[in-house]
Amino acid sequence: MTQLDQPLRDGGTQADREADREMVHLAEAGSVGELDHYVSSLSTSEQAYALSHLDEAEIEKVLASMLPEHAAQLIGHLSEMQAAMTIAAVEPDTAASIVRELSSDEMADVIGDLDEDQAEAILNSLPQSEADAARELTAYDDQVAGGLMNRELMRFSDGMSVADVITTLSAEHDRYDEYDIRYGYVCDPVGRLIGVLPMSQLLFVKRSQSVQEIMIRAPLSVSDDLPLDDLVEFFEKHPFLGVPVVDTEGVLKGIVHREAVDYASVRASESDYLKSQGIVGGEELRNMPLWLRSRRRLSWLSVNILLNLGAAAVIAVFQETLQAVIALAVFLPIISDMSGCSGNQAVAVSMRELSLGVIRPTEMFRVWFKELSVGMINGTVLGILVGLCALLFEGNPYLGLVVGFALFANTLVAVSIGGTVPLLLKRLNVDPAVASGPLLTTITDMCGFFLVLGAATALLPKLLPV
Amino acid sequence: MTQLDQPLRDGGTQADREADREMVHLAEAGSVGELDHYVSSLSTSEQAYALSHLDEAEIEKVLASMLPEHAAQLIGHLSEMQAAMTIAAVEPDTAASIVRELSSDEMADVIGDLDEDQAEAILNSLPQSEADAARELTAYDDQVAGGLMNRELMRFSDGMSVADVITTLSAEHDRYDEYDIRYGYVCDPVGRLIGVLPMSQLLFVKRSQSVQEIMIRAPLSVSDDLPLDDLVEFFEKHPFLGVPVVDTEGVLKGIVHREAVDYASVRASESDYLKSQGIVGGEELRNMPLWLRSRRRLSWLSVNILLNLGAAAVIAVFQETLQAVIALAVFLPIISDMSGCSGNQAVAVSMRELSLGVIRPTEMFRVWFKELSVGMINGTVLGILVGLCALLFEGNPYLGLVVGFALFANTLVAVSIGGTVPLLLKRLNVDPAVASGPLLTTITDMCGFFLVLGAATALLPKLLPV
């Protein structure tokens, strides 16, 4: 895959590098249609690339020069963080005219990611009714059905005939073209959902029939406060492409599409990857302010300093042994790093199995047993290899024994902790992505240092140079 | 999110734990319909969980007791690796009857993941024509359009009228219900794609019109050997939900759905995460054979041993300094680990920006500059903090100075390497997910050890206990 995409990506570079300049150039030339046309000819990643290479004044210039609906399409293609950063760069009036062209779920995401002041400024520039609707949407948590739903849907009243439906469809063809047009939703006069109308059905019925006769009654729906994981579960059980969202009164509020739920799950796992590597404050893009990037990274690093001091304390306790057999200092980082590698492998498999659902957080013993068996083999192989290196280094078989034994034993510790800690953290409601790594590193370092230095202290007479 | 899903997942545990037993029980009771009904009442993750807790004989028993189409649904819900492992557990005859009920892209994935012998045994149990079709599909790489496409589609001939189309739709309503029914595809007598028919259009035209009059002519299509990244690019440029796939003659082979492309991209990034943590042989599930899990993990660990020996060699060179100032040994792992953390943060941001398309592999200097500025701040803060610890540890300001300086300088090294190595590897066509981590760790360890021990050697007289 990597090989195949290379020519395309690299071949595109020169043109892309000019895309940001070209956008500014067209905006300054004031040729509205041309700018819009140029932007829409770019792929979404070319658009993201170009925007990330403009400063705030240039973003303002470009977006203000585009038709609001085209600017909204551009914003809709960006990742959430970049979309919010881009909207934050333009004047509230311009921003408002763009935001109102976004689909309802995109609008909720973008406004939800802005600072409160910026969000208020934009909402205040919207017509009252639209601002109220936007406030209602952004009030939802973005991890529940209300925050993931789309308000755009085909709504029909329960008194309509098939002919009425077809006339409506025909009249509003352009508008409905953007929607998921496989289903229409039938509501009673107060807006409560009473039926679903498969559009393909319309081909096979008489035009004089009423929608009530052909609709599917009492359709499945979800409550607007249903959390993401329950939505994942819902779409796992039912093969639907979307599900209507209702409030406590049964009033139809919108549709959650399977795609939106899948996308939210992917975003959650991307965020897990970033967290596991120490980007804990959420997304970081390099055109974010320096102090923000630095502060977020430091918050993570400072926790790690404390954990590291704990591991270093073990070495401090054994300073005398270390001074007597200085060769041990050469092997300490190897034991720490190799155990870390073995432990990380176990963490990765547990995280993966948890996300596939093939293990449950309660199955600590099953996982532990499976890891111990791999750890026995791998620990033996690694212990012998590194032990041999230690033997050759000083020509002292006891040094080889101490180092080899410590690595063997610490590999068992590392895979045991690495395999089970994600399950344990999940049960304790701590995000395993954030905490697994540092916990693993600290404990395996402490154990590894203790094992090698403790064993060396016990065998000290044998290890001293003769 | 984690908090919200906890009760549901945990609450489900007891019932789930029984699901695997219940499946075996129903299979042994021989009550066919009941087993099928029970399995379909489970969510996809409950199904995955139950199957992963059955041994091969039990899997055989359960799948052989189900109707092939229901067993195929079950297989279709599993992750690729688990699907292949499950099919591999049953007799070729049973496997063949299940495999032929899979959708064409699922069948290609599952058969492609089997050992060659197993795949052949199953293909030989299929009717000749189906085996040929399956061989044609599995011959495609699973990262090109042919491997990602679905053969199931609504095909109409160019001589049909709208009335013919509606009659066909109505007659085969059940079959087409499973397809994406928004578009029909119009082919000439030799099977070449000549037009696309939006189904919603049928509502608004006369039944006597011919499909040629109302179809969209010369529709966009992709070649069956188009790689995944180009498909991603295609769907970025075009808002379609699917695109027809044609061979070099223009003959319609199938449809690639946007969803399949998204799913393949997600799988690629999940596989990147596993690789970055040292699971380099692809997916690992804990019910895979022990020797396989162990061997795959060891292949990665043994490369790391070599890299570690390189870093340890730096310490070996400075053994005398270390013996003279043993306190340095306490701070070596801190410098190594903290630099690793800073470097990993930079790696994560670069990987993320690459995947979002907001940086190109050629922008080494831009990334380096951005990382250096963060590194200056964070290196200063970390250097002062750890330097102070060193000062307090021995009461020697020079020790604080050496340790603090080394951590400051090595933080700059780590973020520079961490930020740029993924771009460099991408340009060299090496998978950045696999190689970034070990390269980073080795270089930052070597540099860190050299900086602290080199500085200590230079200032040795000041560091010796008075």
Determine the pLDDT at residue B152: 83
The CA-CA-CA angle for residues B97, B101, B105, to 5°, reads 125
Residue A419 has pLDDT above 70, yes or no: yes
Specify the higher pLDDT residue, A216 or B202: A216
Of A182, A309, A429, the CB nearest to B3: A429
3-state helix, strand, coil in chain A (%, to 5): 70, 10, 20
Residue B13 has pLDDT above 70, yes or no: no
Residue A178 has pLDDT above 60, yes or no: no
B286 and A367 in contact by Cβ < 8 A?
A: yes
Residue A279 sits at the chain B interface (C-beta within 8 Å): yes
Task: Give the residue-averaged pLDDT of B38-48.
Answer: 88
Neighbours of A119 (CB within 10 A): 23
Closest Cα in chain A to B16 = A360
Confirm whether B273 is domain-assigned.
no
Give B-chain residues touching A52 at CB under 8 angstroms.
Answer: 358-359
Specify the higher pLDDT residue, A57 or B177: A57
Q: Using 50, 70 and 90 to split pLDDT, how confident is the model at A13? A: very low
Residue A465 has pLDDT above 80, yes or no: no
Sign of CA dihedral A304, A291, B1, A73: negative
Task: Give the residue-averaged pLDDT of B210-232.
Answer: 91
Q: Using 50, 70 and 90 to split pLDDT, how confident is the model at B33? A: confident
Determine the pLDDT at residue B14: 42
Phi first, then psi: give them for residue A253, nearest 5 degrees: -105, -30
How much of chain A, in percent, has pLDDT values that exceed 90? Answer: 52
Chain A interface disruption, residue of B18, B55, B78, B200, most A CBs within 10 A? B200
List all residues 6 or more positions away from A31 whose beta carbon is below 8 Å from its beta carbon: none
How many residues are given for chain B? 466
Determine the pLDDT at residue A437: 85
Specify the residue for token string 């299940």: B98
Q: Using 50, 70 and 90 to split pLDDT, how confident is the model at A175? A: low
Residue B6 has pLDDT above 50, yes or no: no
Q: Which of A197-206, A271-280, A400-409 has the highest mean pLDDT?
A: A400-409
Residue B386 sits at the chain A interface (C-beta within 8 Å): yes
B348 and A52 in contact by Cβ < 8 A?
A: no
Encode pLDDT of A258-292 as tens digits.
Answer: 888 988 888 888 888 888 888 887 788 888 889 98
Of B358, B374, B431, the CB nearest to A2: B431
Cα of B236 to nearest chain A Cα, Å? 5
Query: What CA–CA distance (Å, rounded) separates B332 from B340?
Result: 12
Give B-chain residues touching A426 at CB under 8 angstroms.
Answer: 2, 6
Contact pairs from chain A to chain B, CB under 8 Å: 356
Claim to verify: residue B253 and residue B117 sit in the same structural domain: no
Query: What CA–CA distance (Å, rounded) separates A82 from B3?
Result: 27
Determine the pLDDT at residue A181: 66
Cα of B121 to nearest chain A Cα, Å? 28
Task: Give the residue-averaged pLDDT of A9-21.
Answer: 55
Q: Which of A223-232, B177-186, B434-443 has the highest mean pLDDT?
A: A223-232
Residue B18 sits at the chain A interface (C-beta within 8 Å): no
Claim to verify: residue B84 and residue B233 sit in the same structural domain: no
Residue B353 has pLDDT above 60, yes or no: yes
Q: Of A139, A164, A185, which closes a domain?
A: A139
Cα of B176 to nearest chain A Cα, Å? 11
Determine the pLDDT at residue B422: 93
Give A-chain residues touching B316 at CB under 8 angstroms.
Answer: 330, 393
Take residue A448 and report the two structure tokens written for it: 């590894």
Q: Do strands B252-257 and B155-157 pair parallel, antiparallel, or not at all (unpaired)?
A: unpaired
Cα of A3 to nearest chain B Cα, Å? 6
Query: What CA–CA distance (Å, rounded) separates B182 from A203?
Result: 13
Cα of A397 to nearest chain B Cα, Å? 18
Determine the pLDDT at residue B11: 37
Encode pLDDT of A115-158 as tens digits.
Answer: 889 999 999 999 888 888 888 888 888 889 998 998 888 889 99
Determine the pLDDT at residue B9: 37
Closest Cα in chain A to B264 = A1
Residue B303 sits at the chain A interface (C-beta within 8 Å): no
Claim to verify: residue B126 and residue B40 sit in the same structural domain: yes
Claim to verify: residue A439 and residue A303 sit in the same structural domain: yes
Residue A348 has pLDDT above 50, yes or no: yes
A426 and B2 in contact by Cβ < 8 A?
A: yes
CATH number at residue A53: 1.25.60.10
Interface of A with B in 329-358 (CB under 8 A): 329-334, 336-338, 341-342, 344-345, 347-349, 351-353, 356-358
SS3 (DSSP) at B117: helix
Query: What CA–CA distance (Å, rounded) separates A149 from A143?
Result: 10
B170 and A278 in contact by Cβ < 8 A?
A: no
What torsion, rounded to 10 degrees, do the Cα atoms B208, B214, B218, B219 define?
A: -120
Lowest mean pLDDT: which of A294-298, B203-207, B402-406? B203-207
The total number of structural domains in chain A stands at 3
Determine the pLDDT at residue B270: 83
Determine the pLDDT at residue B263: 86
Residue B208 has pLDDT above 70, yes or no: yes
Phi first, then psi: give them for residue B43, nearest 5 degrees: -75, 165
Interface of A with B in 304-323 (CB under 8 A): 304-305, 308-309, 311-312, 315-316, 319, 322-323
DSSP state of A227: B
Take residue B361 and report the two structure tokens written for it: 């592999």
Query: What CA–CA distance (Å, rounded) separates B422 from B436?
Result: 6
Average pLDDT score, chain A: 88
Claim to verify: residue B425 and residue B385 sit in the same structural domain: yes
Give A-chain residues touching B332 at CB under 8 angstroms.
Answer: 329, 332-333
Q: Do strands B222-223 and B242-246 pair parallel, antiparallel, or not at all (unpaired)?
A: parallel
Claim to verify: residue B214 and residue B117 sit in the same structural domain: no
Query: What CA–CA distance (Å, rounded) separates A158 from A167?
Result: 15
Give A-chain residues touching B382 at CB under 8 angstroms.
Answer: 298, 301, 305
Give A-chain residues touching B17 at CB under 8 angstroms.
Answer: 360
Claim to verify: residue A320 and residue A437 sit in the same structural domain: yes
Q: List, as one string, the DSSP characters of B252-267.
A: EEEEEEHHHHHHHHHH
Interface of A with B in 28-87 (CB under 8 A): 43-46, 48-49, 52, 77, 79, 82
Confirm whether B281 is domain-assigned.
no
Residue A238 sits at the chain B interface (C-beta within 8 Å): no
Q: Using 50, 70 and 90 to split pLDDT, how confident is the model at B236? A: confident
Residue B206's domain comprises 155-267
Confirm whether B1 is domain-assigned.
no
Lowest mean pLDDT: which of A177-186, A357-366, B200-209, B311-320? A177-186
Confirm whether B317 is domain-assigned.
yes
Query: What CA–CA distance (Å, rounded) separates A121 from B336?
Result: 47
Q: Which of A261-265, B274-278, B394-398, B430-434 has the highest mean pLDDT?
A: B394-398
Determine the pLDDT at residue B226: 94
Specify the higher pLDDT residue, B77 or B389: B389
Confirm whether B432 is domain-assigned.
yes
Closest Cα in chain A to B260 = A259
Q: Using 50, 70 and 90 to split pLDDT, how confident is the model at A4? A: very low
Lowest mean pLDDT: which of A353-357, B82-86, B339-343? A353-357
Residue B262 sits at the chain A interface (C-beta within 8 Å): yes
Claim to verify: residue B248 and residue B219 sit in the same structural domain: yes
Cα of A124 to nearest chain B Cα, Å? 31
Residue B257 has pLDDT above 70, yes or no: yes
Confirm whether B347 is domain-assigned.
yes
Q: Using 50, 70 and 90 to split pLDDT, how confident is the model at A326? A: very high
Give A-chain residues touching B319 at CB under 8 angstroms.
Answer: 326-327, 329-330
Q: Using 50, 70 and 90 to split pLDDT, how confident is the model at B392? A: very high
Encode pLDDT of A87-109 as tens digits.
Answer: 999 999 999 999 989 888 888 88
Give A-chain residues touching B162 at CB under 8 angstroms.
Answer: none
Residue A11 has pLDDT above 50, yes or no: no
Task: Give the residue-averaged pLDDT of A206-223.
Answer: 90
Lowest mean pLDDT: which of A192-196, A461-465, B331-335? A461-465
Chain A interface disruption, residue of B232, B347, B349, B420, most A CBs within 10 A? B349
Of B17, B233, B311, the CB nearest to A8: B233
CATH number at residue A426: 1.10.357.20
Determine the pLDDT at residue A177: 60
Claim to verify: residue A67 and residue A171 sit in the same structural domain: no
Give B-chain residues touching A274 at CB under 8 angstroms.
Answer: 348-349, 352
List all residues 6 or more positions away from A417 whose beta carbon is below 8 Å from its beta carbon: A343, A346, A439, A440, A443, A444
Residue B201 has pLDDT above 90, yes or no: no
Q: List, as one string, the DSSP characters of A61-97.
A: HHHHHS-HHHHHHHHHHS-HHHHHHHHHTS-HHHHHH
Q: Of B267, B300, B321, which closes a domain?
A: B267
Claim to verify: residue B183 and residue B130 sit in the same structural domain: no
Q: Using 50, 70 and 90 to split pLDDT, how confident is the model at A2? A: very low
Claim to verify: residue B132 and residue B159 sit in the same structural domain: no
Take residue B196 and report the two structure tokens written for it: 């696309």
Q: Of B139, B169, B187, which closes a domain?
A: B139
Residue B174 has pLDDT above 60, yes or no: yes
Claim to verify: residue B109 and residue B175 sit in the same structural domain: no
Confirm whether B227 is domain-assigned.
yes
Of B9, B345, B393, the CB nearest to A297: B345
Determine the pLDDT at residue A308: 92
- Rg of chain B taking only CA atoms, in angstroms: 30
Determine the pLDDT at residue A7: 35
Confirm whether B184 is domain-assigned.
yes
- Cα distance from N-terminal residue to C-terminal residue, chain A: 57
Q: Using 50, 70 and 90 to split pLDDT, how confident is the model at B7? A: very low
Query: What CA–CA distance (Å, rounded) separates A460 from A318?
Result: 12
Of B204, B300, B441, the CB nearest to A170: B204
